[in-house]
């Protein structure tokens, strides 16, 4: 991506670039697009203009995508950060207005996650694991699901009777399937239609081989 910065002098333009890009002097290279010109008696004066070409990481691209989406939605006053590894990007957002994505059992957040996953694949040319959490919603949800799963697992193993959980979002259902997928004598499946689709936890005599990930929802 190309950035342009101006100032009364080249040095001032560089200082402006450092401030806007949150970078230190010497950490980037630049080209002088226009040299400053004082003009004649102040008439026809021109500022110095420098151009900086900066390669954006996938995390930078995804953060920009989220910011543009939030701008279109009128969401402001939030903080966003991202961490990237070789094959994954984790995005975290905090802010009261952004909490709109955690309504309706987090379904808007799941839609945002889906959009970011598709966009990341388009930009990167290959599948990338993208995670997005807003106001710690997923962390808090996982903690609640851990308690539910532990209770239901114990109940089913004791009574040998299936348990039907309350309606959940697709993310919540996948989390339950994943948490129980390697449990001996436990099987899970989903029933019903959105938005009332539920997870069923049932007893089975099956002994399981460990699996890396469940694809159920």
* % the chain with pLDDT above 90: 67
More confident residue, 168 or 42: 168
Residue 195, preceding peptide bond in cis (omega within 30° of 0)? yes
**Which whole-number Å values give the CA distances from 194 to 84, 145, 147, in the listed order?**
33, 19, 24
Per-residue pLDDT band at 216 (split at 50, 70, 90): low
* pLDDT for the residue 82: 93
Q: Quick check: 211 pLDDT over 70?
A: no
* pLDDT for the residue 198: 95
Q: Quick check: 14 pLDDT over 70?
A: yes
For 109-150, the pLDDT digits (tens) are 999 999 999 999 988 888 889 999 999 999 999 999 999 999
d(CA 105, CA 90): 21
* pLDDT for the residue 192: 95
What number is the average pLDDT over the span 15-22? 85
Q: Quick check: 210 pLDDT over 70?
A: no
What number is the average pLDDT over the span 150-179? 94
Q: Quick check: 199 pLDDT over 90?
A: yes
How does the average pLDDT of the chain come out, rounded?
A: 89
* pLDDT for the residue 41: 67
The answer to whether residues 77 and 96 touch, using CB atoms and an 8 Å cutoff, is: yes
What number is the average pLDDT over the span 11-32? 86
Q: Quick check: 214 pLDDT over 60?
A: no
Q: Quick check: 39 pLDDT over 80?
A: no
**Which whole-number Å values give the CA distances from 179 to 49, 56, 160, in the listed order?**
56, 36, 19
* pLDDT for the residue 212: 52
Q: State the virtual CA torsion across 137, 105, 164, 189 in degrees, nearest 10.
A: -80
Q: Which three-class secondary structure state does DSSP give residue 99?
A: helix
For 59-91, the pLDDT digits (tens) are 988 999 999 999 999 999 999 999 998 789 999
Instruction: Show the domains of the chain with their CATH numbers.
Output: 2-53 (no CATH), 58-135 (3.30.300.20), 139-203 (3.30.1370.50)
Edge-first strand order for the sheet with 31-34 is 2-7, 48-53, 31-34
d(CA 76, CA 74): 6
């Amino acid at each position: 991506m190309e950035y342009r910065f101006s100032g009364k002098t080249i040095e001032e333009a560089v200082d402006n670039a450092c401030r806007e890009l949150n970078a230190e002097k010497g950490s980037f290279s630049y080209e002088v697009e226009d040299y400053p010109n004082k003009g004649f008696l102040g008439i026809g004066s021109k500022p110095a203009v420098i151009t900086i070409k900066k390669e954006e990481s996938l995390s930078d691209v995804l953060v920009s995508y989220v910011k543009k989406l939030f701008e279109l939605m009128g969401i402001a006053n939030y903080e966003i950060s991202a961490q990237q590894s070789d094959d994954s990007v984790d995005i975290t957002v905090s802010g009261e207005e952004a909490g709109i994505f955690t309504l309706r059992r987090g379904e808007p957040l799941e839609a945002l996650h889906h959009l970011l996953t598709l966009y990341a694949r388009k930009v990167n040319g290959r599948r990338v694991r993208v995670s997005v959490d807003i106001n710690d919603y997923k962390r808090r949800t996982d903690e609640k699901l851990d308690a539910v799963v532990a209770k239901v697992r114990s109940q089913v193993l004791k009574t040998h009777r299936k348990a039907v959980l309350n309606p959940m979002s697709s993310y919540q259902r996948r989390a339950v399937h994943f948490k129980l997928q390697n449990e001996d004598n436990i099987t899970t499946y989903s029933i019903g239609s959105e938005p009332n689709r539920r997870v069923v936890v049932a007893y089975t005599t099956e002994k399981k081989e460990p699996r890396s990930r469940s694809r159920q929802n």
